[in-house]
Chains A and B, each alone.
Chain A
Amino acid sequence: MVAWILAVGLHGIVTSRDLIHQIICLVVVQSSTYVLLLGVGYVTGGVAPYFYDISQRAKAVDPVVQALTLTDIVVEAAVTALLLSFAVQAHKRFGTLDPHELVEFRG
């Protein structure tokens, strides 16, 4: 399942000829890591790790991987925004979003 999302996203990046399309595929690739982390931490029959109104001894899913995923999502957003600004700048400079054409402008 995780492998599927990863493969679909990677294939999208490799075959794409559009920087923005590649960035969106990178978002898909990243989302596979969330599914992996949460899938690993899940405990059958467990409750969410919030003990506001339930017993502290209730069986709960792993909070550590959830915290990891939480920061993962925010970092993803920041990285995507930064990449997008590069794409916009590249488009401004060279008038194209096709990485194949961008190679010509090296140096």
Chain B
Amino acid sequence: MTLMGTLQAVILVLVAAGALAVARARDRVRQVLLLSGYGMLLAVLFFTFQAPDVTLSELAVGSVALPLILLLAIFKVDKARDADKARDADQARRGRR
């Protein structure tokens, strides 16, 4: 097996493990960070597949832009829940009085 073939095999295994890790993670923020790393692994894989064009695209989209959007959405959802909790707690406290 050539050097390139070995490299491709190794990175394919890493990508497979990465996909499993992303899909299994339960904590949202951890999952997004794993996704970012997975995007970078994919970019390396595409590079060994002789596709520099796709590599650049995957780097920019998969490991920067998408995680950023996801993080913003998660932050927004978590904050909303905190706000709801605070309001519920307030109402409960006022109800008791």
Contacts and interface: CB of A to CB of B under 8 A. Distances in A.
Contacts of A41: 49
19 contacts: A1-B16, A9-B19, A21-B31, A24-B31, A24-B35, A25-B22, A27-B35, A27-B66, A31-B38, A38-B51, A38-B54, A70-B53, A73-B58, A73-B61, A85-B73, A87-B73, A88-B73, A88-B76, A95-B81
A38 B49 contact: yes
Chain A CB within 10 Å, residue with most, of B19, B38, B42, B61:
B19
Nearest to B54: A69
A11 B23 contact: yes
Contact of A47 (B35, B45, B50, B80): B50
Nearest to B58: A73
B51 A35 contact: no
Contact of B46 (A12, A34, A85): A34
B84 interface: yes
Contacts of B89: none
A12 B22 CA distance: 9
Interface of A: 1, 4-5, 8-9, 11-12, 18, 20-21, 23-25, 27-28, 31-32, 34-35, 38-39, 41-42, 44, 46-50, 60-61, 66-67, 69-70, 73-74, 76-77, 80-81, 84-85, 87-88, 91-92, 95, 97
A97 B57 contact: no
A34 B57 CA distance: 12
Interface residues of B, number: 39
B74 interface: yes
A87 B80 CA distance: 13
Given A42-B49, A74-B57, A92-B80, A31 B23 contact: no
A74 B61 contact: yes
